[in-house]
Chain A
Amino acid sequence: MDTRRSRKSGTSVTWLKRRLVVIAGLLTLGYLLLPNVVVTVFSFNQPKGRFNYEWQELSTAAWTDPCGVADLCGSLALSLQLAAWATLGATVLGTMIAFALVRYRFRARGAVNSLIFLPMAMPEVVMAASLLTLFLNLGAQLGFWTILIAHIMFCLSFVVVAVKARVMSMDPKLEEAARDLYAGPVQTFARVTLPIAAPGIAAGALLAFALSFDDFIITNFNAGSTVTFPMFVWGSAQRGTPVQINVIGTAMFLVAVLFVVAGMVIGNRRKKQKA
């Protein structure tokens, strides 16, 4: 009723007023995407010096030769490898914890919950520094394994939260029904529980992968002389950023968008088939 009245007296001021939220929201979205636009544009730049901060001339050289810079693709491969293992480790451990927390009543549940919550509420630099003191005291060789240990540690909590949310909304009657139909515990888990929990586990795994792949602060402390992709980018900020870094940044953005869109298209199609 109220909206009808204001529509009748629609001047340009009220028009603007009614769309204020939309305009402000879109401006924020622009702020959020501006660096991605710049990264994309500058991936076609041909810088004169070592620093790629000013537009010089159009070139696709970097796109045709993304590995043209020493160590860049090596660091990228190392980061992908680390992220894959960290995702696997954190997802398995995190899913087990999530199931225990949702499905069982046991003592020290509160303590377990706070131990899971704390790594997410801690500034990264504190975790990074404390882990380094542990490794230094133990005399551990910093490198691939210390990075992997650290990544599994900080991804774990995020997986637990993602899986917990899904398992909590599951109807336990479905599993009871499976048991009533004489399915054994393994069969019930593999054919009923796991498929229902899968979206939550997938979300947790995806989050773990993104967090591990992009992590800089904890890796910076615990990598020793090992160079992951974020470490390479950090180093290049001092030495001069090659155009190839922007190429890889653009490609990652496009791949991420494609993946999400593809996932949604498949999801929609399945829904329609069921209907």
Chain B
Amino acid sequence: MSTLTEAEAPPPLAPVPTTAKPPRKRGRWTPYLLLAPGLVWLLVFFAMPMVYQASTSVQTGSLEEGYQVTWHFATYWDALSEYYPQFLRSVLYAGSATVLCLLLGYPLAYLIAFRAGRWRTLILILVIAPFFTSFLIRTLAWKTILSDSGPVVGALDALHVLDVTSWLGLTAGDRVLATPLAVVCGLTYNFLPFMILPLYTSLERIDGRLHEAAGDLYAKPFTTFRKVTFPLSMPGVVSGTLLTFIPASGDYVNAELLGSTNTQMIGNVIQSQFLRILDYPTAAALSFILMAAILLMVTVYIRRSGTEELV
């Protein structure tokens, strides 16, 4: 590397303040050499596929005769007008699951960060360890838990909860499986750790003396939470909701295993278009719409949570 002449070297970087250590000559090409293999991998197997998918989405043709790029943008319109219910359902289910994750995950993250004492590591292990049991096996377990003759459905029925949820359209009759409630329950369960861990990380960083200070200023515990703890945990809330919402909106496993044809999400449509119906242009267009919708929502959300909600 040191044999390179000045002419081959990249142009000098921005002027370095004199207090800083002068850059070592040997290291000029090192960062690029370190980056190259991994970046090539990502460019070829992450970025290039996106380009191929974009081109597939504007192709016409058939499996037998082959596809040609004809800039047929109508595929997007057709896909959207045919599958908008599944799109809406994805946003709705993933949104509900995210809100539920936040409501359920916050107390547990708070407990681990402030109240668990010597149990802290044990509880953390119990939150992470299920990751190592296949999530499909655990999702299938919900079929047993929510089965029609099981204790959960029996209890909900006896308490007349099912009457209310059926009236709301969340369940159907005296069943929970194959209804929206089951799918949202599965989604919430599957992505809960992705909410708890970032929440815990940001809660753990909060200085306990701030709570004492709030108490000394006669703030009630709830006021302390509302004015001190929660605002300081906002980074965790934002990353937790993103880590929950994005994968949940593309998921098709929960809707397939716990739902029915009436609870299909957009992931189910993309999967069946690609792997069963083999209509590649429609599938690619749907996948692109999903990506664009999520990027848009995430950008708006980050903007909003960065300015207004943080106050």
Contact = CB atoms under 8 A, between A and B. Distances in A.
Nearest to A246: B137
Given A22-B115, A24-B107, A264-B121, A1 B242 contact: no
A9 to B, nearest CB: 14
- The bracket for how many chain B residues form the interface is 35 or more
A2 B211 CA distance: 11
- The bracket for how many chain A residues form the interface is 35 or more
Given A221-B275, A229-B134, A260 B141 contact: no
B154 to A, nearest CB: 13
A220 B271 contact: yes
Nearest to A257: B129
B141 A35 contact: yes
Contact of A1 (B35, B112, B145, B216): B216
A125 B271 contact: yes
B138 A36 contact: yes
Contacts of B139: 35
B253 interface: yes
B38 A260 contact: no
Given A1-B216, A25-B112, A112 B39 contact: yes
B52 A256 contact: no
Given A35-B189, A119-B42, A106 B115 contact: no
Contact of B46 (A25, A99, A119, A129): A119
A245 B127 CA distance: 22
B306 interface: no
Contact of A100 (B31, B246, B291): B31
Contacts of A97: 34-35, 38-39
A24 B193 CA distance: 16
A195 to B, nearest CB: 19
B42 A249 contact: no
Interface in B261-311: 267, 270-271, 274-275, 280, 283-284, 287-288, 290-291, 294, 298
A260 B189 contact: no
A67 interface: no
A85 interface: no
B131 A260 contact: no
Contacts of A28: 104-105, 107-108, 192, 196
Given A118-B46, A133-B52, 11 more contacts: A3-B215, A32-B192, A36-B138, A54-B147, A97-B35, A115-B42, A134-B52, A152-B45, A216-B253, A217-B252, A252-B132
11 contacts: A29-B108, A32-B189, A35-B189, A107-B13, A119-B46, A123-B294, A129-B53, A130-B287, A152-B45, A153-B46, A220-B271
A-B CB proximity, top 4 nearest: A123-B250, A25-B111, A256-B132, A104-B31
